[in-house]
Amino acid sequence: MKFLSILLAFAGLAAASASAAEVVVYSARNEQLIKPLFDAYTKETGVKVTFITDKEGALLQRLKAEGQNTPADMLITVDAGNLWEAAREGLLKPVKSKMLAANVPAHLRDPGDRWFGLSVRARTIFYNTQKVKPADLSTYEDLGSAKWKGRLCLRTSKKVYNQSLVAMMIAEHGEAKTEQVVKSWVANLATDPFPDDTKMLEAVAAGQCDVGIANTYYFGRLMEKKPGLPLAVFWPNQKGSGVHVNVSGAGLTKYAKHEKDALALLEWLSSPKAQNLFADVNLEYPVNPAVKSDPTVAAWGTFKQNVVNVSKAGELQAAAVRLMDRAGYK
Amino acid sequence: MKEKPVSAGDDALPSSFIPHPSSLLFDGWRLAAVAIALLIVVPLTVVLSSLLSPEREEWGHLLEYVLPGLLANTFRLALGVGLGVTLLGVSLAWLTAACDFPGRRFFSWALLLPLAVPAYVTAFVYVALLDFTGPVQTWLREVAGGPVAVPPIRSAGGVIGVMSLALYPYVYLLARNAFLTQGCRALEAAQSLGYGRVAGFFKVALPMARPWIMGGLMLALMETLADFGTVAVFNYDTFTTAIYKTWFGLFSLQGASQLASVLILLVFALIAAEQLSRRRLRYTQAGRHSRADRIVLSGTAGWLSAAYAALVLAVGFVLPVWQLGVWTAQVAAQDFDARYLDFLWHSLLLGGLAAAITAAAALVLAYARRQRRDAFTQIATRVATLGYAVPGPVLAVGIVIPLAWFDRQLAFLAKDWLGMETGLLLQGTLLAMLPAYLTRFLAVGYNPVDSAMQRITRSVDEAARTFGVSGLAMLRRVHLPMLRGGLLSAAALVFVDVMKEMPITLMTRPFGWDTLAVRIFEMTSEGEWERAALPAVALVLAGLLPIALLVRQSERA
């Protein structure tokens, strides 16, 4: 049996046991977050879903190199910027679907219908409840004001979530003002930027700093593990443009071999029965407004979100990266 | 095959640059070396070809705001890690190979163990333990009742320390091979020249071990320069950071490949400089070593040696693995399932096959380089080892592009001639994965084999030839038995490195064919480091297998 599986792996036939109905997915969303969904889909429809995970950059290059020979029907990423880039490279195919148009709010999908957000990731402010009163907080931009000197923690600018955040600020304020804001953040840092959101949140909780910016699901995960931490959510920019959101989303590949089946899967992923499975497993927000979030997530309260189309995050990402380099944000 | 008498060392200036075409065609060794080099040249060319159309906009930005700081950082890191691995590796190798002290037999193999832990995992453990929010500083603050000034772990010192602990086994393993086969004889010779023990070590034993030490050091430096995972944990920006930023942030793979090309050229220059600097030296094997020769360290010296070895082992292996074990205990109930048998099996299979292929290729290259002294063969063998200097993801793209091209051509042919839809034939199969690993890890296999090859004196070859033994027979009957240690080291290093490898595995693995390293990626991609402890512990356990094999074989030799 083992021997057979090696032979198959050598010959490349492991995946090629082509059943009639099958969808092949390249996913930057990791296995434990997508496999439960695909299993449920196969159980419901009998359509087999084969997938392979990798980083976004690698998947895009792979799609590009494989060209029309690619086995992939669908690409899933964990941010809008990379979907925008995949579309720009001509790797995705526009689809017309009333169901997707109804289920996914307009600002969370490609204006050209080449990709669709499937869950919402809110990047917001967190504070140490023993050291900060929520009334002191207002906006992302205000974290650069003098009162936060030496009290701010940030994650590295190399993470795409921060690149998207700054890109959306450029969309709103223009480069010059955004650069001032980012510079003022850097001046307020309590310590070097952190490699990930969890570490950053732990530093806020431990009092190394008082406030920081992170995605909500990292907070949710951390509080599940250590419920006693003095940490709380704050929703900024509620009088202005709203909380910065990003999406984990998907699109069909340009050379999809199982286009119909892949579209059916994509539509199903946006439907009420799949939305909770998609979002709740990682404490994210469903993209479909008709679907309620997980009770843990709902307990953080409601907020106004930024409704500028998330494709701006991709369009302005390179500008954001350069800006953060100029501002000395590592 | 006539060979001119050798007066200088192995790296004497070649007599002619381009071999005669007929000799190239009919010369199996040269042909084999060139074929292997070509396999590696293809992905390198994909990366280097980016230099043809420079991205002026990206370069302008990078040169102004990014590169100056990064180059200083990179230089500091390479210097620090270079010093660290040399000091740790050489001192421990000398102690376990040429001396005797309490626990020496145990330490001589146990000191290889840090090799089994991926460097970025060790890095994460130490940042978790020693950062402001970690248990150590938290405890200190509780005891002191307020803020405590502790040197930060997320600093140049921290990253240099962790990488030195993770990478010293390369130097240790190779230097130990050298000292085992010559160390005490060298010291005896030195003493007969009137040197004391210390002077003898520095004037005779150490210079004689230079090819091995440099071989191990080059591996450690290449890995340091191409590393991204470890420095990312510290948010310590190096030259690779600029490569990743350009690719993933600025969406310019072209610019990223240009930066990677600079790195490749730099490493090539480093290798060439190192080769040139020792081209007048010649190394020979000083007969077999016997245990009676060891310097016995008794009393305080012995116990201090044992304490030193124990400390390195504790910090480099025991402590990080213990912490991984604690995390694993927390998540095993939720994450461990039967699939782990498959992950483990796939990791072992890939590591084992790649180790065998790479050791064989390294042997061919080293032998060709010994037998054919023209510059063409010399350069081919050097180029063949450059894959290790390229950051993994960039090399992975360089591999997938020609693979996909090949598959496309096959698909066209199949459709035109046979009317068949073939899809991908090579991409996503082991047939593509194994050569891909070879391009990445040939340096790891080559350095130990070549060092061992250089130890065999020319007179051995000449003697064999006078008995009518040459070519393949000479390799098999004369050289192979003497290369045993080098080949085993090569295979074991590649075995462990392939199991830890991530970007090439991710990009070329067959569907549903996950390994332990892929599992670590799944967990860490959304920052769930504690959950990554389970596959990491499994990876460490799997890594014990090749290390144990290596130890058993080398003890027997």
CATH of the domain at B344: 1.10.3720.10
**For residue A226, which residues of chain B lie inside 8 Å, CB to CB?**
none
* CB proximity B161 to A under 8 Å: no
**For residue A322, which residues of chain B lie inside 8 Å, CB to CB?**
61, 65, 250
Would you call B100 helix, strand, or coil by DSSP?
Answer: strand
Best of B46, B132, B395 to disrupt the A interface (most A CBs within 10 Å) is B132
Best of A26, A56, A61 to disrupt the B interface (most B CBs within 10 Å) is A61
Best of B526, B529, B531 to disrupt the A interface (most A CBs within 10 Å) is B526
> What six digits make up the tokens of B346?
């796939």
pLDDT < 50 positions in chain B: 1-16, 22, 24-25, 289-292, 557
CB B449 within 8 A of CB B367: no
> What six digits make up the tokens of B232?
């990312």
> What six digits make up the tokens of B557?
């030799």
Q: Is residue B7 part of a domain?
A: no
The pLDDT value recorded for residue B34 is 87
Best of A60, A62, A284 to disrupt the B interface (most B CBs within 10 Å) is A62
**Nearest-CA neighbor of B9 among B232, B277, B227, B215?**
B277
The rounded distance, in Å, linking the Cα atoms of B363 and B490 is: 10
User: Which residues are bridge partners to A285 per DSSP?
Assistant: A120
The rounded distance, in Å, linking the Cα atoms of A91 and A67 is: 8
Q: Which member of A10, A62, A67 has the closest CB to residue B429?
A: A10
- Tally Cβ neighbours within 10 Å of residue B285: 15
The pLDDT value recorded for residue B183 is 66
- B250–A318: do the CB atoms touch at under 8 Å? yes
One-letter amino acid identity for A300? W
**For residue B431, which residues of chain A lie inside 8 Å, CB to CB?**
10-12
- B408–A202: do the CB atoms touch at under 8 Å? no
Q: Which residue of B has its CA nearest to A25?
A: B511
Length, in residues, of chain A: 330
The rounded distance, in Å, linking the Cα atoms of B169 and B85 is: 8
β-pair type (A22-27, A74-77): parallel
Q: In angstroms, what CA-CA distances link A11 with A17, B144, B538?
A: 12, 64, 28
The rounded distance, in Å, linking the Cα atoms of B210 and B493 is: 20
**For residue A163, which residues of chain B lie inside 8 Å, CB to CB?**
249
The residue segments making up the domain with residue B143 are 27-556
**For residue A319, which residues of chain B lie inside 8 Å, CB to CB?**
none
**For residue B509, which residues of chain A lie inside 8 Å, CB to CB?**
52
**For residue B345, which residues of chain A lie inside 8 Å, CB to CB?**
2
Q: Is residue B4 part of a domain?
A: no
- A12–B518: do the CB atoms touch at under 8 Å? no
Interface of A with B in 269-298 (CB under 8 A): 282
CB A160 within 8 A of CB A79: yes
Q: Is residue B83 part of a domain?
A: yes
* CB proximity B154 to A under 8 Å: yes
CB A121 within 8 A of CB A218: no
**Nearest-CA neighbor of B344 among B162, B541, B125?**
B541
* CB proximity B247 to A under 8 Å: yes
**Nearest-CA neighbor of B92 among B307, B268, B271?**
B307
3-state secondary structure B242-253: HHHHHHHHCCCH
CB B424 within 8 A of CB A12: yes
Tens of pLDDT, residue by residue, chain A (330 residues): 556 666 666 665 444 444 468 999 999 999 999 999 999 999 999 999 999 999 999 999 999 999 989 999 999 999 999 999 999 999 999 999 999 999 999 999 999 999 999 999 999 999 999 999 999 999 999 999 999 999 999 999 999 999 999 999 999 999 999 999 999 999 999 999 999 999 999 999 999 999 999 999 999 999 999 999 999 999 999 999 999 999 999 999 999 999 999 999 999 999 999 999 999 999 999 999 999 999 999 999 999 999 999 999 999 999 999 999 999 999
**For residue B423, which residues of chain A lie inside 8 Å, CB to CB?**
16, 69, 71
- Tally Cβ neighbours within 10 Å of residue A266: 25
The rounded distance, in Å, linking the Cα atoms of B444 and B317 is: 21
Q: Which member of A6, A10, A321 has the closest CB to residue B245?
A: A321
β-pair type (B295-296, B99-100): parallel
Q: Is residue B363 part of a domain?
A: yes
One-letter amino acid identity for B23? S
Instruction: Give the pTM.
Output: 0.92
**For residue A192, which residues of chain B lie inside 8 Å, CB to CB?**
152, 154, 235
The pLDDT value recorded for residue B281 is 65
Would you call B228 helix, strand, or coil by DSSP?
Answer: coil
Q: Which residue of B has its CA nearest to A68?
A: B408
- CB burial readout A161-180, b (16+ within 10 A) else e: bbbbbbbbbbbbeeeeebbe
Element (H, E) at B77: helix B67-98
Q: Is residue B53 part of a domain?
A: yes
Best of A66, A73, A165, A248 to disrupt the B interface (most B CBs within 10 Å) is A66
User: Which residues are bridge partners to A92 per DSSP?
Assistant: A253
Q: Which member of B252, B428, B521 has the closest CB to residue A12?
A: B428
- B429–A51: do the CB atoms touch at under 8 Å? no
Q: Which residue of A has its CA nearest to B141?
A: A206
Quick one: how many helices (H) and strands (E) in chain B? 26, 2
Which DSSP category does B78 fall into?
H
Chain B closest-CA separation from residue A81 CA (Å): 9
Length, in residues, of chain B: 557
- B521–A53: do the CB atoms touch at under 8 Å? yes
The pLDDT value recorded for residue A194 is 96
> What six digits make up the tokens of B263?
């790195």
* CB proximity B260 to A under 8 Å: no
Q: Is residue B17 part of a domain?
A: no
User: Is the CA virtual torsion B255, B257, B261, B264 positive or negative?
Assistant: positive
* CB proximity A7 to B under 8 Å: no
* CB proximity B513 to A under 8 Å: yes
- A10–B424: do the CB atoms touch at under 8 Å? no
Q: In angstroms, what CA-CA distances link B496 with B106, B248, B484, B502?
A: 20, 29, 18, 12
* CB proximity A326 to B under 8 Å: yes
CB B546 within 8 A of CB B495: yes
* CB proximity B129 to A under 8 Å: no
Chain A closest-CA separation from residue B519 CA (Å): 9
The rounded distance, in Å, linking the Cα atoms of B131 and A208 is: 10
User: Which residues are bridge partners to A253 per DSSP?
Assistant: A92
Identify the burial level of A61 via C-beta atoms within 10 angstroms of its C-beta, where 0-12 means exposed, 13-18 middle and 19 or more buried. Answer: buried
* CB proximity A57 to B under 8 Å: yes
One-letter amino acid identity for B198? V
Element (H, E) at B296: strand B295-296
- Tally Cβ neighbours within 10 Å of residue B38: 13
3-state secondary structure chain A: CHHHHHHHHHHCCCCCCCCCCEEEEEECCCHHHHHHHHHHHHHHHCCEEEEEECCHHHHHHHHHHHHHHCCCCEEEECCHHHHHHHHHCCCEECCCCHHHHHHCCHHHECCCCCCEEEEEEEEEEEEECCCCCHHHCCCCHHHHCHHHCCCEECECCCCHHHHHHHHHHHHHHCHHHHHHHHHHHHHHECCCCECCHHHHHHHHHHCCCCEEEEEHHHHHHHHHHCCCCCEEEECCCCCCCCEEEEEEEEEEECCCCCHHHHHHHHHHHHCHHHHHHHHHCCCCEECCCCCCCCHHHHCCCCCCECCCCCHHHHHCHHHHHHHHHHCCCC
Q: Which residue of A has its CA nearest to B396?
A: A58
CA A286 to chain centre: 12
**Nearest-CA neighbor of A168 among A201, A200, A123?**
A123
- B506–A56: do the CB atoms touch at under 8 Å? no
**For residue A11, which residues of chain B lie inside 8 Å, CB to CB?**
429, 431
> What six digits make up the tokens of A39?
């299993």
Tens of pLDDT along B495-522?
999 999 999 999 999 998 999 999 999 9
Complex ipTM value: 0.92
Q: Is residue B16 part of a domain?
A: no
**Nearest-CA neighbor of B259 among B443, B67, B396?**
B67
- B423–A52: do the CB atoms touch at under 8 Å? no
Q: Which member of A28, A160, A196 has the closest CB to residue B527?
A: A196
- Tally Cβ neighbours within 10 Å of residue B340: 16
Helix B375-383 and helix B28-48: axis angle, to 10°? 50
**For residue A70, which residues of chain B lie inside 8 Å, CB to CB?**
424
Would you call B295 helix, strand, or coil by DSSP?
Answer: strand
**Nearest-CA neighbor of B336 among B511, B545, B500, B516?**
B516
- A325–B65: do the CB atoms touch at under 8 Å? yes
β-pair type (A211-215, A116-128): antiparallel
Q: Which residue of B has its CA nearest to A324?
A: B65
The rounded distance, in Å, linking the Cα atoms of B388 and B437 is: 10
* Distance spanning both ends of chain B, measured CA to CA: 32
CA angle A284, A290, A296 (to 5 degrees): 35
Looking at the 3D structure of chain B, how many domains does it have?
Answer: 1
Give me Rg for the CA atoms of chain B: 24
- A208–B232: do the CB atoms touch at under 8 Å? no
CB A10 within 8 A of CB B430: yes
CA angle B31, B37, B40 (to 5 degrees): 150
Q: Which member of B132, B245, B408 has the closest CB to residue A158?
A: B245
